[in-house]
Amino acid sequence: MFTGIIQGKGRIVSGRPSGGGVVLVIEADFDITDPEEGESIAVNGICLTARDISGRRFTVDVSPESLSRTNLGNISAGSAVNLERALRLSDRLGGHMVSGHIDATASVTEQKPMGDFTLFSFLIPKELSKYIIEKGSIGVNGISLTVNSCDERSFSVAIIPHTLKVTTLGELNKGDTVNIEVDLIGKYVEKLLSSKSADNNGKESGINPAFLAEHGFLK
């Protein structure tokens, strides 16, 4: 589990095909203190297992599924990636709960200055739009962001100068692809509402819109 608060950037040192996937060697721009072989590290928002950790370098194995669903298949040696080590129970939850399981990719459609901020707009697969709400949380290349506006095919976010500096957002151009992870809560609510499972007495589940409204989950 992650928070979407990026710890630093990394550069792809090398990559090679392996069993239908790829093996990447990554070098972070920060010290990996108290490294644990096999620990989880989010690379552009993708939860991967770090091995052969040495100094600031580590190796990850990227499966064919991850390559097909994320932008890691498009990067090469020298490419920059966002990095976040897994959340500890004692850490501050400064962003939102991020699983590191990417839902889809989106493309940059607009990038324009707004005073001290930068507005990014993204084109998304239509099936993801129901999980994205105005002022809700979303993960973009592993970064916890607040949705500025959205419709059935797109959403926008306003980026502060600090985030632009410490993440790879500042290197994006129109047409570039990013990894998207929608808020987990929306998917769980949808699952509960669509469930028609019955208990031993043949009654439907008590989780419904009225129940959620009564307990403050819906307005």
CATH of the domain at 44: 2.40.30.20
Question: Phi, psi at residue 137, to the nearest 5°?
Answer: -95, 150
Pick from 156, 162, 120: which is nearest to 135 by CA?
Answer: 156
Inside any domain, residue 168: no
pLDDT higher at 163 or 91: 163
Q: Are 139 and 98 in contact (CB under 8 A)?
A: yes
Range of the domain at 58: 8-85
Q: Is residue 35 part of a domain?
A: yes
The residues that bridge with 23 in the sheet, in sequence order, are 16, 61
In this structure, is residue 37 part of a structural domain?
Answer: yes
Q: How many domains does the chain have?
A: 1
pLDDT in tens, 34-74: 999 999 999 999 999 999 999 999 999 999 999 999 999 88
Tell me whether residue 143 is in a domain: no
Ordered strands of the 104-114 beta sheet = 143-146, 137-140, 177-182, 104-114, 117-123, 154-159, 149-150
In a domain, 212, yes or no: no
Distance CA 108, CA 97 (A): 24
Per the domain annotation, does 50 fall within a domain?
A: yes
In a domain, 20, yes or no: yes
- The per-residue pLDDT for range 155-209, each reduced to its tens digit, is 999 999 999 999 999 999 999 999 999 988 888 888 877 775 544 455 555 666 6
pLDDT given for residue 199 in this prediction: 47
